[in-house]
Amino acid sequence: MTGPETLTQVTSAQGFANWVQGFRGRALAQGIHPQVFDRAFQGVTLNGSVIEKDRNQGEFVKPIWEYLDRAVSDERLANGHQALRENRKLLRRIEAAYGVDPEVVVAVWGLESSYGTRRGDIPVIEALATLAYEARRGRFFEGQLLAALKILQSGDVHPQAMVGSWAGAMGHTQFIPTSYLSFAVDFTGDGKRDIWSDNPADALASTAAYLQRSGWRAGQPWGVEVALPRDFDMGLTGERQKRSAAEWQALGIRAVDGRAIANHGPASILLPAGVRGAAFMIFPNFHVIEKYNAADAYVIAIGHLSDRLRGAAPIRASWPRGDRALALQERIELQERLTAAGFDTGGADGKIGPKSVAAVKSFQRSIGMIPDGYASLDLLKRLR
């Protein structure tokens, strides 16, 4: 007799097979050749490990200090310096073509794949098909799957070589398929945009092209660590508040190393861990990196790692290391409770974006807290 678990597996497998057949028609209607589709899906099955990773990812987010500890570790720095030395000529050519500093490109490379040593080995078509069938964001992943088929149809890579992460990110700098179609370049001139090869040239140049086309300003910083005066109005912090560096300095803000801060365009003051953590003055290049990955911790990690690779000092401020990050359900609860209390977060999706930060600040002001916008466990407890 077939047990419940086996029956579930059989039902899922049949449901997936039916979904693939339905998707085949949609893909062909979008210009994918039948032979390309059939070759790409040969041997593809529902991947349970991918489903498991999707369902568990994002439940807990590391506090920024833990993220930075790992992202800008001594080992990451040492390997980054080595990557700069070994690829100096290539990186200079890329900088000449796209105007993006070698250290920034290498920082992305380091965070995304540990300088090419962890590019992923999961078949991309299988991963994306599984997620399109099963995931919470089915429409998004079906779009990525269609883009992956277009890449195969272009001849840039064979299906067997198209491997990546469980979520379909590929190559040295982990491009998702739609980003590949928009930004990947053939820097080696061999007729293929090969971001999967052991040779990182196309992948690194593609990353520089991505940043350049997203508005990268050559020779300008992503941000600088700053010290705030004791009487600073924390309501002025956040990405929506923009002033020139001179205007911020007139309010008493200084670089932590005492240097004057040059004007690099509209700047904001960011407090990723509230008043008890580091403060940064961020510039337009911060928002360019944000297009690669929107998480503040990621952007700061890329920026700080690139600074350290140039020889800059570590972040000077301390962090509230006794705090723990809110779990996904706690962040959703925080948003729901803020909204119920009259502080609109724009929805309860667990993502603490600008609207949620503004709501947190308004609530903090209403109860006499410093309005730094920090979504902490203490704040959630006050709302309960």
- 147-193 per-position pLDDT tens digit: 999 999 999 999 999 999 999 999 999 999 999 999 999 999 999 99
Predicted local distance difference test score (pLDDT) of residue 353: 86
How do residues 285-298 score in pLDDT, each as one tens digit? 999 999 999 889 99
**Burial 40-67, CB ≥16 within 10 A → b, else e:** bbeebebbeebbebbeeeeeebebbbeb
Mean pLDDT, rounded, for 300-311: 98
| Beta bridge mates, 225 | 280
The better pLDDT of the pair 350, 112 is held by: 112
pLDDT at 275 over 70: yes
Helix, strand or coil for residue 41? coil
Tokens of 258: 């005492």
Task: Quote the pLDDT of residue 57.
Answer: 59
How confident is residue 381, by pLDDT bands cut at 50, 70 and 90?
Answer: very high
The pLDDT of 334-351, averaged and rounded, is 95
Amino acid 198: pLDDT? 96
pLDDT, residue 60, reads: 52
Give the closest residue to 125 by CA, choosing from 154, 172, 163: 163
- As a whole number, mean pLDDT of residues 232-245 equals 94
C-alpha distances in angstroms, 301 versus 72, 77, 85, 289, 290? 7, 12, 21, 10, 11
Fold (topology level) of 223-309: Lysozyme (1.10.530)
Tens-place pLDDT, residues 4-43? 445 455 568 899 999 999 999 999 999 999 999 999 999 9
Q: What is the predicted pLDDT for the residue at 3? A: 46
- Domain spans in the chain, listed from the N-terminal domain onward: 223-309, 328-383
In the predicted model, is pLDDT for residue 375 greater than 90?
Answer: yes
- Give the pLDDT score at 137: 84
Task: Answer yes or no: is pLDDT of 1 > 90.
Answer: no
Instruction: Give 226-232's long-range contacts (Cβ < 8 A, gap of 24+).
Output: 226/253, 226/254, 226/255, 226/256, 226/261, 226/269, 226/279, 226/280, 226/281, 227/253, 227/254, 227/255, 227/256, 227/279, 228/252, 228/253, 228/269, 228/279, 229/253
CB-based contact 63:273 (threshold 8 Å): yes
User: Residue 62 — very low, low, confident or very high, per pLDDT cuts 50/70/90?
Assistant: confident
pLDDT at residue 281 tops 50: yes
